[in-house]
Amino acid sequence: MLGQVAQENSNLIAVDSSTEIFSAVDAMGRVIEAQLPADAKRDTLALTKIANSLINYASAPESERSKLARQIEREAIKLLNRVSRQKQ
């Protein structure tokens, strides 16, 4: 699935902040926003790491994407397994 994503050129500027705000647009054109809490715990931080990895994947050269995709999938599986165990 990740292999079908085209490389994205961006003029984003990274800043250091105590608050991270995310937004996305869904298939219906609605804007979805979220904010990372200052006291984020392990699972929230893991999900944020995956999100940042997806951003890096989108701008990575084709030659690096396979490796990045495997890392993202590995981290996502670890998080899924952890939260699944917590629900039981």
Structural domain boundaries in the chain: 39-88
The contacts found for 36-43 with CB under 8 angstroms, 24 or more apart, are: 43/79, 43/82, 43/83
More confident residue, 44 or 74: 74
- pLDDT tens-digit series, residues 6-60: 555 566 655 555 677 778 888 899 998 888 777 788 888 898 899 889 989 999 9
Q: What is the pLDDT of residue 39?
A: 79
| Stretch 67-86: mean pLDDT | 93
| Stretch 56-75: mean pLDDT | 95
Q: What is the pLDDT of residue 37?
A: 76
Query: Is residue 63 pLDDT above 90, yes or no?
Result: yes
Does pTM surpass 0.85?
A: no
